[in-house]
Every structure is written in structure tokens, then in C-alpha cells.
Amino acid sequence: MGKSLPLFLSLSLLLLAHRGHGQPAVRTVAPCGGQHHQDSLVARYLTNGAHRISYLSPRWALYCDSLIAACPTFAYAYQQKAMPLITTGQYQETFALLDQAVALDPDHWLAYRGFLKCIFTKDYEGALVDFGQAARLKPNGREMDHTYPFFRGLCQLELGRFARAEAEFSRDLAQQRGADGTGDVHFNTLFYLGVLHVEMKHYDRATAYLAQCLRAYPQHPEANYYAALACRAQGKEAAARQHLAAAQKALVAGYRLNEDNIFYANYPRQITEFEVRRAAR
């Protein structure tokens, strides 16, 4: 498992990627000149315009405004204008634009808005509403490489509703494994299941899930940290210190949770060297 993505990566690879869906599909309330016309507008204002400059440049918004003026019912234009605002914490303006994108194309942008509520603004109740509605539109949908139940599980975990979180993560596991039960499971699903069982004081189960996570990604700092907490709760101090040392070594080397937007928002239960040093005292 490699180190987490460097900070200078283009935002288009992070927030624009809309992982799990591929390139955004163009669907608008009105045809706005048809597919060929919309493609030409994207090429003019985004591909050959905004995407050739920094997303922090004021010109980015101007290109998006031009696209919106040419095609006011194009949901993608509102999402593109919102992207720089997300990274600078201008969430009121971000969600005003995303609300328009969702109204125009809920199939594509509803789960994306739920993702931002879950990870960026920690509006867990709002994220649960969005992912619940998104699941009715696309029952087996994914967002940023994760299933909808994964994000619902995160929300329930952070709201302290552990039984509901466990049920959601179970649905996440089932969707990832597929009908034949052989699909790969994302290591962060295993990590958060470990965290959940640490919270529930089910230390044997927590240790088992975290061990699975670490087999897939041995340098996972948070998985090592929570494995240390589970070991310490069971009186296994030597093992706890080994995990804390591994967590600190991984953080110093630049390893992180390995989620695309890690540099723009703190994921639930993300740690720093401070927490590791404090636990190691």
C-alpha cells in the first residue's frame, strides 16, 4: 500500500472524480441544446478553460458562471463552481450551489452531497437523509469508492448509535462481497468496524477486524492506534506498544487513511502524532 496522495494533486482527481461513478453523466431538466451542444460547452468553458488553471483562481468561477449562463439547467456546472469553495471552508456557498445541482440531477449529485455532509461538515443527520434518498434512486450505488451503507455506518458511529452502525457496516460488507461472497472488502470498512467494536468494548472482535485491516494495509496509522487501544484494554501492554510504535512510524513516513479527500477534510477517527505520543506515555 503506497503513501497517501500528495497535496499538490489536482482537485479534479479528488473532488471532481466523484469516484464510484466515473465521469459525471450529463442529465438536465431541459435538454439545453442536446448532448452535442452540452459537450461543446464543457469543452469550451471547462476542459479548455477552468481545468487549465488553478481551481483557486477567481477565473475558475467566471468560467463556471459563463457555462451556467449558457446552460442554466446543467447540474455539473453548479458542482464545478462549488469545488473551490469546499476546500476553503465556504460551506454555505458550497451547499447553495450543490442544492441546485441535486435539484437538477439527483441521480448523480445526491450521494455526493451526502458525502460532503458526512466528511466535510460532519452533518451526520443530513448525510443520512441524503444517502437514504440516494439508495432509493440507486440501491447499490457507490460514492468515492464506498457503498452508501459505509457512509451511513460512519454517520451512525459518530452519532453514537452503535447497533445501527453495525447493521450498516454489515450491509456494506455484503454489498462489497457481492452475491458470490468473494468480492474484496475495503480496508477502511474493516478499520471502522474495529473502531466500532472498541467503542462497544468488544475487544476480541475489534482486534480481529483491525488485524484484517492491517493485513491489507500494514502501515494504516489509525488501525494500529485502535489496535493498541484494544490490546491495552485486554491487558496486553507489549502488543499495545508495538502497535503504537507502528502507528508513529507510519505517520512520520507519510502514511494516512488513504482516502482521496484526506488533505481537505479530517475523516472520522483520523489521528495525528499527538494522539500516538500521548497514548505511548
pLDDT digits over 16-40, tens only? 445 554 444 444 445 577 788 889 9
Three-class DSSP category at 268: coil
- Identify the residue whose cell numbers are 488533505: 263
CA-closest candidate to residue 187, choices 160, 227, 156, 140: 227
pLDDT tens-digit readout, 96-120: 999 999 999 999 999 999 999 999 9
CB-count burial class (<10 Å; 0-12, 13-18, 19+) for 156: buried
Structural domain span for residue 265:
186-281
Domain boundary among 59, 74, 104: 104
The CA distance from 224 to 235, in Å, is: 16
Flag whether 210 is in a domain. Answer: yes
Query: Quick one: average pLDDT of 152-166?
Result: 98
From residue 242, alpha-carbon distances to 7, 201, 220, 235, 270 in Å are 29, 21, 14, 14, 19
Domain boundary among 59, 80, 104: 104
Flag whether 173 is in a domain. Answer: no
For 55, how many CA atoms within 13 A lie in the half-sphere containing its CB?
A: 20
The CA distance from 195 to 94, in Å, is: 31
CA-closest candidate to residue 94, choices 75, 110, 76, 113: 113
Query: Quick one: average pLDDT of 163-191?
Result: 97
Flag whether 29 is in a domain. Answer: yes
Per DSSP, helices labelled H in 200-236 are: 203-216, 221-233
Flag whether 278 is in a domain. Answer: yes
Domain boundary among 104, 129, 151: 104
Task: Please report the pLDDT score of residue 4 as a whole number.
Answer: 39
The CA distance from 27 to 163, in Å, is: 38
Q: Which pTM value belongs to this model?
A: 0.88
146, β-bridge pairs: 143
